[in-house]
Structures are given as C-alpha cells and as structure tokens.
Amino acid sequence: MRKLLNEELDRLSVDRFRESNKTPLIIVLDNVRSLNNIGSVFRSADAYRVEKIYLCGITAQPPHKDIRKTALGATETVAWEYREHTIDVIKELNEQGVTTCAIEQAEDSVTLRGFKPSTKKVAVVMGNEVKGVQQEVVNACKTVIELEQYGTKHSLNISVCTGIVIYDLFYKLNS
C-alpha cells in the first residue's frame, strides 16, 4: 500500500473552501486558555467544514503565532467570531432554532453515541481546560452531551474531545 502524496489529496483552495457547503455545526469555545488547543480546534473544524467557531471570554483570537502553529492556516478558512459572553451566543442560537449542546459531564446528560440531532443545525460548547463549561451556559443549552470514558481520569484534552465530537456530528448531520 502506497501513501498518497500531498498533491494527490485534492485539497481545496481557500476560495473553494469558503464557497463549499458547510456542515451545519457551530463550535463555541467557552474560556479556552490554551492557544494550541484553539489552533487544533480550528484545524479539526477545517477538516470537516464546520460552519463557524465562536471564541468567547478569555479565548484568544487569531492572528497569534501559537494558534497559527497548530491551526496550519485553518484560521483563514473557517469562519469565526469573538464574543465576550458565551451566554449571549447560546441565547441567540437558541432563538434561531439551533440545537445548543454543552459538552460536559452532568446529570441527565446523553452520550455522544446516543445523541440524535433534533434540528438541522447544532452548536456545541467546549469548556475551559480546568473548569469546563460555565454552569449558566450549561443551564442555557438545550442538552448536555457526555463522552463516555472508562479510564481513571474521566477527562480528555479539549482539542481531542472536540475532534471526536466534530467527527461524530459530521456523519449525523450529513446523513
């Protein structure tokens, strides 16, 4: 089996990406501290043509060299917007009929595997590396999705968790 060369991958240009159909998925970063995590989220969002990323609270914004290092140009392709308060974004998305989901460990959460989108567009909130999604934001979301974990930590890096969520929802929203 031969590995494909980069020129064989049929990569989209920035312009073709911007014009392409997007996955009806929005990522909301709620006070994410790590610039490398932010860049990794952009890169995963690019891979699955996520519609938009909201950067909220203390979440840093492009351009920044540490975001650029892991995003590898995805800050130029994925639409994004900075908002000071995550709760305002969630309220607006709820009013627009978007299914808002906190990715968190909480009472009455549904598993990612068991989650079935009830609308054509979904927004997921990814929380701070230490504190998670703010409680008021969890309260405002229509549902809470939890990634089942079976080890001792019951914690995933936010960029890893976001990648898993994007991958799963890409297939659910595009099927």
- Per-domain residue ranges of the chain: 13-173
- Nearest Cα to Cα of residue 38 among 13, 14, 69: 69
Superfamily of structural domain 13-173: SPOUT methyltransferase, trefoil knot domain (3.40.1280.10)
CA pair distance 6, 58, nearest whole angstrom: 36
Q: How far apart are CA 104 and CA 124, in angstroms?
A: 10
50-108: pLDDT as tens digits: 999 999 999 999 999 999 999 999 999 999 999 999 999 999 999 999 999 999 999 99
DSSP 78: S
Mean per-residue pLDDT for 22-34?
Answer: 98
Query: What mean pLDDT do residues 162-171 have?
Result: 98
175: pLDDT strictly greater than 90: no
Tell me the pTM.
0.97
pLDDT tens across 131-155, in order?
Answer: 999 999 999 999 999 999 999 999 9
Sheet holding 110-111, edge to edge: 80-83, 50-56, 23-30, 122-126, 99-103, 143-146, 110-111
Residue 21 is predicted with a pLDDT of: 97
